[in-house]
Amino acid sequence: MKSKDILIILTLIVVGTYFSIVGLIEAGGFLKPLAIAVLLTLICIPLCRKLEGWNFSKGLSAFVSVLLSLLAFLSFFVIISAQVANVSDRWPEIKSKAKPKLEEFQQKITEKTGLNLQQQLGMFGFSGQTSGSKPSEESEQELDSNQSSDRTNSDSQPSPEKIVSNASQEVRIIVMNFFSFLSSTVLTFVYLFFLLLYRNKVKLSILKFFSEKNRKEAEEVMSHTVELGLNFIVGRFILIVFLAIIYSIGLSISGIENAILISVIAAILSLVPFIGNIIGYVLAIVMAVFAGTELGGIIGVSLTFGLAQFVESYILEPYVVGSKVEVNPLVTIMAVILGGSIWGIAGMILSIPIAGIAKIIFDATPALKPIGYALGEEDVDGADEQNFLSKWGEKLWNKFSKK
């Protein structure tokens, strides 16, 4: 009976988790704008309170906060679009500079390992014949058959109607994607306005789920949770802005082209501990090498990222974000991977704040404190927490051991 109960509970957890993830994927079109709006609400609450302290009405303070958020979003979008357009315009030049370096790198690998280009590509999951390799007899037969079919196809050129139809299809897909992005953006800011306007009503609505006896305690827990969540989200936002500024200044001084684009990407990637910083550093180095930067520029990139890591670890994180709601790297990486598999890039960006807020809620709920402790950073003096974990485990074991 005991084993059966445990098996039933584990089965329900697995099935519930599966259908929850499937539901999140299917409802992504509705939930993604709402989730982004909730996080923006936490960021804008201090601004709303400041405006209301200046005798602004709730509606006007919410409108001003949304307007400033929209201006910040448009500024970010314009800067990134300009940087991407610059990379696109200069792509042939970057490609011409990168090609000899890649060929030289491939040649060195061949000299050291004895592997030709086709074998090197096969190690990374790529296949196909290269221009320098000799095709086998089967590939020659396939090539002959393909050439004959190409000759027959070349006799019948596509009609103008078909070309127009294909072009209209591509234009329609681009227009649909643009309007989908535009509608999601507008919906996000609409959610943001009403969440700011009715934030007190949302709080009171949640408190009504508790009895009069427990409502005061629930209000204290909720206020503490919202305060920590607010500090966490705002702190992370400030951290990203500071890192982007540090990266931009350092990479610009080092002579790296498209420094702003690389800096913003590296600052956002810093949300993922260790891995994000490494990816941002490698991206900056690769762009510097492909652009033909000298050794001094590469050293400048390394010094910039080293300085940024020092400032982030010893100045920004302890004083801006705080250590009470920090999530350990293992949970962070798992959350990013899970968020990416559910909602793509938006899920990866949202996963870190959601994990931090979840830890805050778990820490504030007595029954869920062990999970909150498991999500947090490693502590030096963790005797009390470990004793609490052991006691909680004994209670759980005794519960299932009862006949």
Dump the DSSP string for 124-192: TT--S--TTSPP-HHHHHHHHHHHHHHHHHHHSPPPHHHHHHHHHHHHHHHHHHHHHHHHHHHHHHHHH
Residue 267 main-chain phi, psi, to 5 deg: -65, -40
Q: How many CB atoms lie within 10 A of CB 131?
A: 5
Cα–Cα distance, 339 to 344 (Å, whole number): 7
Residue where the block lists tokens 């897909």: 173
Instruction: Assess if residue 170 is contained within a domain.
Output: no
Mean pLDDT of 64-68: 92
Measured CA to CA, the distance from residue 366 to residue 383 in angstroms comes to 18
Give the chain's domain count.
1
**How confident is residue 365, by pLDDT bands cut at 50, 70 and 90?**
confident
Average pLDDT over residues 29-42: 87
> 152 in a domain, yes or no?
no
pLDDT of residue 60: 92
Q: Which amino acid is present at 86?
A: N
Q: Which phi and psi angles does 192 have, rounded to 5°?
A: -60, -45
Question: In the structure encoding, which two tokens stand for residue 351, read together?
Answer: 């996963």
Please enumerate in sequence order all residues whose Cβ is within 8 A of that of 268, keeping only pairs 6 or more positions apart, or say none.
240, 276, 349
Name the residue range of residue 194's domain: 27-115+182-198
**pLDDT tier, 130 (very low <50, low <70, confident <90, very high otherwise):** very low
Q: Is residue 383 part of a domain?
A: no
- The verdict on residue 280 lying in a domain is no
More confident residue, 393 or 315: 315
Question: Mapping DSSP to helix (H, G, I), strand (E, B) and coil, where does residue 102 land?
Answer: helix
Share above pLDDT 70 across residues of the chain, in percent, rounded to a whole number: 71
Asked if residue 282 is part of any domain, the answer here is no
Average pLDDT rounded to a whole number, residues 353-372: 81
| Whole-number average pLDDT of the chain | 75
* Residue 79, in any domain of the structure: yes
CA-to-CA separations, 149 to 144, 152, 238, in angstroms, rounded: 9, 5, 60
d(CA 284, CA 171) in angstroms, rounded, equals 34
Q: Is residue 37 part of a domain?
A: yes
Q: Burial-class residue 73 by CB neighbours within 10 Å (0-12, 13-18, 19+).
A: middle
Model's pTM, two decimal places? 0.67
CB atoms within 10 A of CB 234: 18
Give CA separation, 338 vs 25, 235, 240, 333, in Å: 11, 23, 22, 9
Read off the amino acid at residue 318.
Answer: P
Burial 273-289 (b: 16+ CB within 10 A, else e): beebbeebbeebbebbb
Q: Where are the beta strands (DSSP E) in 14-165?
A: none
Confidence band of 98 (pLDDT split at 50, 70, 90) = low
Q: How confident is the model at residue 67 (pLDDT cuts 50, 70, 90)?
A: very high
User: Scanning the structure block, which residue is given the tokens 């027959």?
Assistant: 152
Q: Are 277 and 301 in contact (CB under 8 A)?
A: no
The confidence band for 223, taking pLDDT boundaries of 50, 70 and 90, is confident
Quick one: pLDDT at residue 386? 44
Q: Would you say residue 382 has pLDDT above 50?
A: no
Question: What are the tokens at 329?
Answer: 């790297």
Long-range contact list for 224-227, CB < 8 A, 24+ apart? 224/364, 225/357, 225/360, 225/361, 225/364, 226/42
Distance CA 325, CA 354 (A): 11
